[in-house]
Structure 1
Amino acid sequence: MKIKFYAPQWGNTLPFDAFCSHVKSAGYDGVEMALPFDREETDVILEALAKHGLELIGQYWQSFERDIDAHAASYEKCLRNLIAAKPVFINCQTGKDYFSFDHNKRLFDLAASLAAESGIPIIHETHRGKSLYAAHVTHGYLSQIPDLRITLDISHWCNVHESLLEDQVEEVALAIAHTDHIHSRVGHAEGPQVNDPRAPEWAETLETHLQWWDQVVASHHAKQSQLTVTTEFGPSPYMPSLPYAQTPVASQWDINVYMMNLLKERYRQETASARH
């Protein structure tokens, strides 16, 4: 059983090489990010990652086209661009919440074909606005497409369902059984990100998320399979800010490093095995 931790490039304002240096020094194993289509720009990114001994998780989020044919074409173009960089795997915010089951399944099938062709695993994120935007909807996809593997960002579901999912135990359990990657952001009933998970007022909410992640870890421990975590607390507007001044109420970087260290300590045995 292994757990590796990745930093989100989302929100970074440093030159990329300096960012990689910070990521490595903090104790991360790699970075999760999208890549530009310009080959020279991508090469600079890949060289910086290699220089600092960091792995890459490719990230797809550019789901904008309403027409399914245009959407599928853009999806394939983005995935092939990420595949060319040979990431550890690709995490996709696949589809749209308003697409039909068949339209979203077309995208899942396309991803499965590209994964088989390339040997790069492609998994799909639970995310508002996308195909897997809600617990009960995801349950339907996982029941009908049993090979589907997911990134569990359960913070979104807390927001969508305006709860800590107390009434969706079966739906959450099936999602956990299909989880290969975690985004360890903490959501709440009125938003996808608490302002600071270290604050005592969020203790119960944090503990609920930890118990969900414990179940994912236990599942991978039983199979002795690789598990990955991206500490994906985001910048504004995910991070609340003060009115008028627009000053963030907390440091995105500090919170993400806190979450990594919290989970490393909680799963010390598994994270230790990842270093051997």
Structure 2
Amino acid sequence: MIIQFFCPRWGSEALSWPVFCRQAKAAGYDGVEAEIPFLEAERAEMLDALAGSGLLMIGQYYQSFERDFDQHARQYEHYLTHLASARPLFINAQTGKDYFTPEQNSILFGIAADREAATGIPIYHETHRNKALFAAHVARHYFDRLPALKITADFSHWCCVSESLLEQQPEAVALACERAYHIHSRVGHPQGPQVSDPRLPEWKQALDTHLSWWDAIVVRRRAEGAERLTINTEFGPAPYLPTIPFTNMPIASQWDINVSMLHLLKQRYATETYVPTYNGEVDVEDEPRNLMEED
């Protein structure tokens, strides 16, 4: 199984497509994950730049803004059809809304399944806040109802929603790892969807926990004989990335963080016989300590 790494367009929109693609290629990425423009000139510029750089493409849907369900469903199908027309490797879809009923979100999953069957382009549904799969326990419900549902694993959102590293939901996480075909390798924590910088020692527990989940996905896909697994190093720009007070300046470089994650995971999964070195256990105290009393 090959593991291919994708660069997020998110955060680099100010760069022209040719410049962005050259930078992504030089950094060692295999492709790019992005929305597909509707304007023909912009679409052509994007696709030409990708082809000229030899980069693969993952289509991205995030525009789930309509409150009215019927309008939402029509727009959802419209966007999926548009994305599929560009023939991406697959589509990563932020499907549904957390305030839609399970029946309504299931209708959207059905629309995606129909579009996948009609176009031949796989569609994976992202575990994302404010969307259908916004929490681990909610996603487990859909996994039980929809055995063919495949996901993009972005567990950073679940950490934020549950205010935990999911220590009390191992069954839901295990099911999610079984359904994951694409990874967004952003590291979340109990108070937010993105640590300030995963290279810092204070985030070691959060990083190790996410690594254990990604390890499980890699091992499972390899055991199943998959030809490919894809990973997008999707650390985002400000305000996902914390800023210096009164300046709105990010405290670190989004690009550098993503490239460092690219190198970390490339090295970690370099061999076809990769075995996890971290067992996924998280040392969490039963009761919080009062450090003032210990002094």
Normalising by the smaller structure, the TM-score range is over 0.9
Structural RMSD (CA): 1.1
User: Which runs of 4 or more aligned residues in structure 1 lie more than 2 Å from their structure 2 counterparts after TM superposition?
Assistant: none
Corresponding residue SS for 2:25: helix
Instruction: Report the Cα distance in structure 2 between the residues aligned to 1:269 and 1:43, rounded to whole angstroms.
Output: 37
Corresponding residue SS for 1:268: coil
Q: Is the 8 A contact 1:4 1:229 kept in 2?
A: yes
Instruction: Report the Cα distance in structure 2 between the residues aligned to 1:260 and 1:69, rounded to whole angstroms.
Output: 40
Q: Report the alpha carbon displacement of residue 8 of structure 1 after superposing the two structures with TM.
A: 0.2
Instruction: Report the Cα distance in structure 2 between the residues aligned to 1:189 and 1:23, rounded to whole angstroms.
Output: 31
The equivalent of 1:256 in structure 2 is 258
The equivalent of 1:204 in structure 2 is 205
The equivalent of 1:17 in structure 2 is 18
Instruction: Report the Cα distance in structure 2 between the residues aligned to 1:184 and 1:21, rounded to whole angstroms.
Output: 22
Given the two structures, how large is their TM-score scaled by the length of structure 1?
A: 0.97
The equivalent of 1:50 in structure 2 is 51
Query: Where does 1:188-203 land on structure 2 (aligned, <5 Å)?
Result: 188-203=189-204
Tell me the alpha carbon deviations over residues 145-196 of structure 1, each in whole angstroms, 9 at most, x when there is no partner: 0000000000000000000000000000000000000000000000000000
- Does residue 148 (structure 1) correspond to residue 149 (structure 2)? The answer is yes
**Residue type matched to 1:193 in 2?**
Q
**Residue type matched to 1:234 in 2?**
G
**Residue type matched to 1:227 in 2?**
L
Judged with a 3 Å threshold, the aligned counterparts in structure 2 of structure 1 residues 271 and 56 are, in CA distance, closer, same or farther, namely farther
Query: Where does 1:226-265 land on structure 2 (aligned, <5 Å)?
Result: 226-265=228-267
The answer for unaligned runs of 5 or more in structure 2 is 275-295
- Does residue 170 (structure 1) correspond to residue 185 (structure 2)? The answer is no
Q: Report the alpha carbon displacement of residue 39 of structure 1 after superposing the two structures with TM.
A: 1.9
Q: Sequence identity of aligned pairs in percent?
A: 56
Corresponding residue SS for 1:227: strand
The equivalent of 1:101 in structure 2 is 102
Tell me the alpha carbon deviations over residues 50-95 of structure 1, each in whole angstroms, 9 at most, x when there is no partner: 0000010000000111111100111011111101100000000000
**Residue type matched to 1:116 in 2?**
A
Q: Is the 8 A contact 1:7 1:28 kept in 2?
A: yes
Given the two structures, how large is their TM-score scaled by the length of structure 2?
A: 0.91
> Using CA pairs below 8 Å that are at least 6 residues apart, which structure has the higher relative contact order?
1
The equivalent of 2:180 in structure 1 is 179
Q: Report the alpha carbon displacement of residue 40 of structure 1 after superposing the two structures with TM.
A: 2.1
Q: Is the 8 A contact 1:126 1:154 kept in 2?
A: yes
Query: Where does 1:4-43 land on structure 2 (aligned, <5 Å)?
Result: 4-12=4-12, 13-43=14-44
Corresponding residue SS for 1:79: helix
**Residue type matched to 1:7 in 2?**
C
Query: Which structure has the greater CA radius of gyration?
Result: 2
The equivalent of 2:124 in structure 1 is 123
Instruction: Report the Cα distance in structure 1 between the residues aligned to 2:146 and 2:220, rounded to whole angstroms.
Output: 20
Tell me the alpha carbon deviations over residues 103-146 of structure 1, each in whole angstroms, 9 at most, x when there is no partner: 00111000000000000001100000000000000000011100
Q: Report the alpha carbon displacement of residue 271 of structure 1 after superposing the two structures with TM.
A: 11
Q: How many residues align?
A: 272
**Residue type matched to 1:231 in 2?**
T
The equivalent of 1:64 in structure 2 is 65
Q: Is the 8 A contact 1:2 1:271 kept in 2?
A: no
